[in-house]
Structure 1
Amino acid sequence: MSVTRSRFATRLAALTLSLAAAGGALAVTAAPAGAAPGPAHAGRPDAAVECRGRSTDPDALVRYGTEILIHAPLSTVFRTQTDVERWPSWQDAVLSSERLDSGPLRPGSAFRWTTPVPATPATPATTLTVTSTVQQLRRDDCVRWTGPATGEGIHIDEGTHVWTFTKVKGGTLVRTEETWTGDQAEADVDLSTQALGAGLEIWLKDLKAAAETRTGC
């Protein structure tokens, strides 16, 4: 493994452990590349997660999908998730988030957000910066965005993230799937998938807490 890939692996391992600790040691299982769809926590939901007919990158080796039931109205959950500038108010894993345009979030909207990567004995703490552009959006239904993520010793060429929101008995079912592409991410698919999964699990947990608090649940 090259020095660059070794540093990337170290960064990802630190990020995974930090997120898992924040989520109460959330279990994350990597799915082998090309594996058949299985349980939601196996790296791919049972059914495709799509927004306006578009899903994650079908060729990506690094992917993770999961879902959660939130006891809050669909409109509250969707608004909480898509008000990207307020993410830091309910997600400890998001240090900052800023819109790069104005007005309602819509296809073409872009935003930049950051998440901390803890220090390790071999590397200092750093910040991962993600620049996301909305590709598809349907109000109170779904959103899909893409973009790169960069930081000291870590780079993801393209992340593709899809969210769906469905009104169900008891509240709102939120399903999400994300893929990563790039030489660094694909150098260790299992480790990248673990880091991605840990992040998505804690994100859903925080979204559930924020939306239910706003609803008074």
Structure 2
Amino acid sequence: MSGTRSIGIRSALVTVPVVLGLLGAAAAPAAPAGGSRPGASLTCRGEGVVPDALVRHRTEIVIDAPLRTIWKLQTDVERWPSWQGPVENVERLGHGPLRKGSAFRWTLPIPPNPSTPATSLEITSTVRQIERHACIRWTGPAIGEGLRIDGVHVWNFTEVSGGVRVSTEETHTGPQVEADVPTANMLLREGLEAWLRDLTAAAEAPAGTLPR
């Protein structure tokens, strides 16, 4: 990626790194529900990331909090803005607990840059696979002026000594990200690690200070 368009796309992505944690639509080879073989891509109910995507990252962290607390924070999507600063708003496109087929729309502001005016990035996400207290896989494009990202995001939750290991893996496709793979991979890594830090801070917060 080069020139003014490259500057604009990079500026938009750097401004909202957390968006790099929510996108896509594709499947990977089957694996056991709720987890993956060591060294294999993460899956949820046998579905995972795009196997040949050029832009991809996997990371994990152990959070010292109950699994039910972490699960509630991650799946109560309407309350994401209370613990994820970059998230502007979230609208559920349905009712009830998050389940297969649940959809939600959320937005992130993007300030003006040399290529595009100020705009908002709109993401419409759909849960494709979910297993309570074990895993989630959701898909959906993120679209802004001059920018579209398609990807797939998988989360695994495993109780371990010292808390819960939260593992996440994501792949991105699209002409903008594929035009500069090193930059796209760097931004994806930063976005996923920022999400895990925010999730850790919220889950480990003293009793009474968690989002309700």
TM-score of the aligned structures, taking structure 1 as reference length = 0.79
Contact 1:114 1:129 in 2 (8 A): yes
User: 2:179 maps to what in 1?
Assistant: 187
Instruction: Go from structure 1 to structure 2 and tell me whether the alpha carbon gap of 1:144 and 1:67 turns closer, same or farther (over 3 Å shift).
Output: same
Q: 1:55 to 1:171 in 2, by over 3 A?
A: same
Structure 2 runs not aligned, ≥5 long: 19-37
Question: Does 2:145 align with 1:152?
Answer: yes
Alignment-derived partner of residue 103 in structure 2:
110
Q: Is the Cα contact below 8 Å between 1:136 and 1:143 reproduced in 2?
A: yes
Aligned equivalent of 1:101, options 87, 94, 102: 94
* Aligned equivalents of 1:116, 1:82: Cα separation in 2: 22
Determine which of 163, 166, 169 is the counterpart of 1:171.
163
Q: Which runs of 5+ in 1 are unaligned?
A: 23-44
Is the 8 Å Cα contact of residues 16 and 110 (structure 2) preserved in structure 1? no
Tell me the number of residue pairs that the alignment of Structure 1 and Structure 2 aligns. 190
State how far apart, in whole Å, the 2-side matches of 1:212 and 1:103 are: 26
Aligned to 1:78: 71
Contact 1:131–1:149 (8 Å) recurs in 2: yes
- Counterpart of 2:7 in structure 1 is 10
**Residue of structure 1 equivalent to 2:31:** none
Off by >6 Å, runs of 4+ in structure 1: none
- AA matched with 1:84: V
1:60 equivalent in alignment to 2:53: yes
Query: In the alignment, which residue of structure 2 is the partner of 1:26?
Result: none
Equivalent residue for 1:131, pick from 124, 134, 137: 124
**TM-score with structure 2 setting the length:** 0.81
SS in 1 for 2:59: strand
Amino acid across the alignment from 2:44: C
Task: Using the TM superposition, give the Cα deviation of residue 214 of structure 1 relative to its aligned residue in structure 2, in angstroms.
Answer: 5.6
Q: Which residue of 2 aligns with 1:35?
A: none
Q: CA RMSD, aligned part only?
A: 2.4
Among candidates 108, 112, 117, match of residue 119 of structure 1: 112
- Measured after TM superposition, the shift of residue 155 of structure 1 is 0.8
User: Secondary structure of the equivalent of 1:129?
Assistant: strand
Would you say the 8 A contact 1:16–1:199 is kept in 2? no
